[in-house]
Amino acid sequence: MATSGIVTSFLGALQAALSVLLTMAYGAIAARLQIVSNSTAKEVSHLCVSIFMPALLFYNVGSQLHLDTLMRYMPIIIWSISYNFITIALGSLASQRLNAPRWTIVAATFNNSTSLPLLLLTSFEVSGVLKPLLVPGDDDTAAIRRASVYFLINATVSNTLTFSLGPRLLRPLPGRGEPEAWQQRPHAMQRTLSSADDEDDIHRYDEESTLVYEEEHETVQKKPPSRSELLWHHVIDFLSQFINAPVAGASLGAVVGLVPWLHEQFFEKGGIFIAWLTSSIKNIGALFASLQVVVVGVKLYNSLESLRRGNDVGSIAWRPTVGTLLVRFAIWHVASISLVYLLAAKTRLLPNDPILWFSMMLMPVGPSAMKLSALSDVSDISEKEKMKIARFLALSYMVTPLICFAAVGSLTMSEHLMNSSHL
């Protein structure tokens, strides 16, 4: 890519990042003017995740998925799972070695994989940043729509892992004396005698009555669950957390997309559902990206206000903070570009789609997910740690324009791959 092309791409990516930042700022302004309260923002966020995002996933996945394109999305699923678990493993090791807070593992692992990339793609379409990656017969709209599906599939995997693994990663390390779940439940040996009417009855409790009680008690006492029962309970509990609205929306979209008759009726011209049902689903799905970013702005403002009013909010340790930001904006930037480039250039594991390469290079990069704040609210961590998380998230989104470097790097390397592959 020529120098002028790099500058143009950099400016386009910078404009896209600033557009996202301004959208967040509008949410902060609305909160500052008391147009939107914190409780309202939480309700809107819940609405986005429960209704708008599943609708968006249903439409985009269903419309793009066919039997002949199914294998195109498998690399994204494998890539999404891989980079998340790699970060968890390395983050856990670094947290133990450096004595860093547990929340830094979640902050380093789960980035904003949904609203930010989708809003960036919208800005890319306007600025024409992705034009160099268009193959013959492709156009801006089709490329952006295809990239949206790639990012949404990645978001589905990332959100599923966040909801299922996030709370566990925030918990204190084992070995601190917390009882097992079955030990926390009161059982017969811990109960007092309910048949005793008063204290005198207990004092008159002689050896014979004690033996009678213990004999009867043995027949009703529940034994602690076996190792296999505990394992099965944990497996069921773990799998149940993978059932959520976004996964349901993506799954329904996949079913409709893969069944030819349903795909024709929902997404092709002349279908019986396309003019009313599909159109309505598309409309509410389109609300997700910008509205969710506005909610992020509201939450960040309220978090900073809570910090300003607090007495002892503590300070953020600079080492884990800088380390986490480096992982989010630099380390994964270099690693993802290098790995995807090698896979596309040296193997046949990836389809010949420059938009796919670009999307995969950009997927692990960006600020930490705002869900970290919600996870902290339901986890057993101190209020001071929650305030530190809020401050870190505010800082993370302030440096969001750094993502333009990742966008330019991904674009440059994807174009180089495209030219070397003679697409």
In a domain, 112, yes or no: yes
Domain that holds residue 18: 1-172+239-422
Q: Which of 397, 324, 290, 268 is nearest to 101 (CA)?
A: 324
The identity of residue 328, as a single letter, is: R
* Residue 314 region by backbone torsions, left for phi larger than 0, else alpha for psi between -120 and 50, else beta: left
Structure tokens that stand for 295 in this block:
């909610």
In a domain, 85, yes or no: yes
* CATH number of the domain bearing residue 25: 1.20.1530
What's the pLDDT at 86? 94
In a domain, 111, yes or no: yes
In a domain, 81, yes or no: yes
Residue 199 predicted with pLDDT over 60: no
In a domain, 284, yes or no: yes
pTM of the model: 0.74
List, in sequence order, the alpha helices (H) in 33-139: 38-47, 53-64, 70-98, 103-109, 115-127
In a domain, 193, yes or no: no
What's the pLDDT at 174? 56
Q: Could you give the C-alpha distances from 372 to 110, 111, 226, in angstroms and in order?
A: 8, 9, 34
What's the pLDDT at 29? 94
**59/66 Cα distance (integer angstroms):** 13
Residue 203 predicted with pLDDT over 50: no
In a domain, 199, yes or no: no
Quick one: 358 exposed, middle or buried, by C-beta within 10 A (0-12, 13-18, 19+)?
buried
What's the pLDDT at 244? 75
Give the total number of structural domains in the chain. Answer: 1
In a domain, 78, yes or no: yes
